[in-house]
Amino acid sequence: MPDSDPLKPIVQRRGPVPELPGVPPFLRRVYGHRGIGSPADLDLALSGLEQPSALRDIDRAAGRIAEAVREGQRILFVGDFDADGATSVALGVSLLRAFGAPAVDFVVPNRFEFGYGLSPEIVDLALLRSPQLIVTVDNGVSSIAGVERANAHGVDVVVTDHHLPGPRLPPAYAIVNPNVPGCTFPSKAIAGVGVIYYVLSRTRTLLRASGWFDERIRPEPALADWLDLVALGTVADVVPLDQNNRRLVHQGIRRMRSGRCRPGIAALAEVGRRDLARLKASDLGFAIGPRLNAAGRLDDMTIGIQCLLASSLDEARTLAAQLDELNRERRGIEQSMLADAELLVAEAEGGIGGKFGIVVFHPSWHQGVVGLIAGRLRERHHRPAIAFAEAGGEDGGVELKGSARSVPELHIRDALDAIAARDPALLTRFGGHAMAAGMTLDRRCLDRFAKAFDEEVRRCLPVEALQGRLESDGELEADELTLDNALRLAEGGPWGQAFPEPLFHGDFDLVSQRVVGKEHLKLVVKRDDRLIGAIAFRQKPLQNCRQVRLAYVLEVNDYRDLALELRVAQIEPLR
């Protein structure tokens, strides 16, 4: 926690304590706070996955893909330029090749040239490769004009997506998306990579039934071997970890830990200094995912997809090194933009206290990084935020592209929909999820939009929702502060969006402190004569302090030998 940030009140989570045989009391409390009510809720076996048949149009989509495989048709995947899109493309291309499809390729829109989704321009680019079937992954549900362009050229389009649809669906051959009207698939939170995994699972079933696979010539692949990609895309896209998503992520991480992952993921873990054998969901979200995303933010996601498709570790390492360098460049750009953004927020009329929704823009900002800036502002100021960058324009106007990040109490895509309904000319286009969205508008409309956004957030959110707070799973007794319990927590996830990593709080004696890595504080604290190491990131030393209140994560430090460590989220001097 940066020491300049104001202290947040600690609020203890509440919930019934479930009966879970063999689970220690502190962990039962944690699970109860997250809605776990029985041992069945902790069952993450693949056999419990939701069935594909509940996905509307899945048989039609899988049937068309199976036909293309059997007839040797040219299949082209069109993906998004983020980690979910990249893993979706890599899964689709590699799995269809494993099915025996002879002509499978991909194209990913460069965000700076084409923008998001299956636009008519991307279809024109795709047509240069003479596809007979286009399959969209992590996009397409809003691509009406693009699908119409493909149809006009006699190319079928199968849309696989998870984004919220607009009032009109594209005229695709099939649309598989759990969020379209009439779809009864229970896991509405599934990521794009999960959707294409389900579609190709059904495709394999149809190919098997037709006698396509042959043990000697064309053996049937095991779909579980692709779960490393599903886990990475799901965590990196920050979708809620409902039980179905937790199954997919848990099973994918198990395979990564055992070394059964593609060379590209192993190479990205290596440059991110993560040990595959001890990999956690947070490592996917904070080390591997950002390096993959850096390609789409600053360059072309093709590099990231090629890394995931690499057939050898040597090839993957070369590409992972490029992604790591792009990520370093991204960090520098982000730091500069964040400083600009904070200055804009501070100088805004009325200050941050007078704003319910934050809207910022600077003409020098990088279009690929505005989503990160919106996320940082949301974290620091505890309210929805949108950051804009220039994206060119015509007729004297300048088009702005924005990225929004929200708080749990506000569905950001619905908020944009409400704004557009009241002022249809304000937004050129928009789309997204509950917690994140993207949009474009004319530069001349920015002030009007900022006012409308603040008014909509003000209408939807109570003032108390804008107050930052830390939600704690309570205090741990001294005898619960053990390495064994830290290991239990590490294995008790996967933790992530809507199934948050456990956070505890308590008072400790401060024994010693020293600065490490120029800006982090290494601590030794004591509780009932038990000495424990702790680390507080971006925290200056405390002056004249002998006792502290910590909000912390119980963690395993595996730098040399395994040891208990408290990762400090907030430190409050007491005396």
Whether residue 38 is found in the same domain as residue 59: no
Residue 105 zone, left/alpha/beta (φ > 0; ψ -120 to 50; rest): beta
pLDDT of residue 98: 97
pLDDT of residue 392: 66
Give the CATH number, domain containing residue 361.
Answer: 3.10.310.30
Q: Which residues contact 197 (CB under 8 A, 6 or more apart)?
A: 91, 223, 226, 227, 230, 248
pLDDT of residue 393: 53
Whether residue 201 is found in the same domain as residue 106: yes
Closest CA to 256 of 221, 280, 238, 282: 280
**Within a domain: residue 141?**
yes
Domain of residue 529: give its range.
Answer: 10-42+472-573
Whether residue 427 is found in the same domain as residue 479: no
Whether residue 431 is found in the same domain as residue 486: no
**Within a domain: residue 358?**
yes
Report the 3 state secondary structure along 299-337: CCCHHHHHHHHCCCHHHHHHHHHHHHHHHHHHHHHHHHH
Whether residue 273 is found in the same domain as residue 286: yes
Whether residue 365 is found in the same domain as residue 319: no
Measure the CA dihedral 275/280/282/287, to 10°. 20
- Alpha helices (H) in 144-287, listed in sequence order: 144-152, 192-209, 227-236, 243-257, 263-271, 281-283
- Total residue length of the chain: 575
pLDDT of residue 439: 92
Residue 508 token pair: 């400790």
Whether residue 434 is found in the same domain as residue 522: no
Helix (H, G, I), strand (E, B) or coil at 491: helix
CA distance 412 to 432: 8
Task: Give, as one character, the DSSP assignment of residue 284.
Answer: I
**Within a domain: residue 482?**
yes
Whether residue 172 is found in the same domain as residue 242: yes
Give the CATH number, domain containing residue 492.
Answer: 2.40.50.460
Whether residue 365 is found in the same domain as residue 513: no
pLDDT of residue 4: 53
Sheet with 429-432, edge to edge strand ranges: 358-361, 385-390, 399-405, 436-442, 429-432
**Within a domain: residue 5?**
no
Whether residue 514 is found in the same domain as residue 408: no
Using the 3D structure, point to which of 449, 466, 483 is the last residue of a domain: 466
Give the CATH number, domain containing residue 233.
Answer: 3.90.1640.30
Whether residue 240 is found in the same domain as residue 194: yes
Using the 3D structure, point to which of 425, 446, 466 is the last residue of a domain: 466
Helix (H, G, I), strand (E, B) or coil at 438: strand
pLDDT of residue 319: 97
Using the 3D structure, point to which of 466, 481, 497 is the last residue of a domain: 466
Helix (H) or strand (E) holding 455: helix 446-460
CA distance 492 to 250: 10
Whether residue 183 is found in the same domain as residue 135: yes
Residues of the chain with confidence (pLDDT) below 50: 1-3, 395-396
The number of domains in the chain is 3
pLDDT of residue 396: 47
pLDDT of residue 350: 61
Q: Which residues contact 44 (CB under 8 A, 6 or more apart)?
A: 243, 246, 247, 250, 251
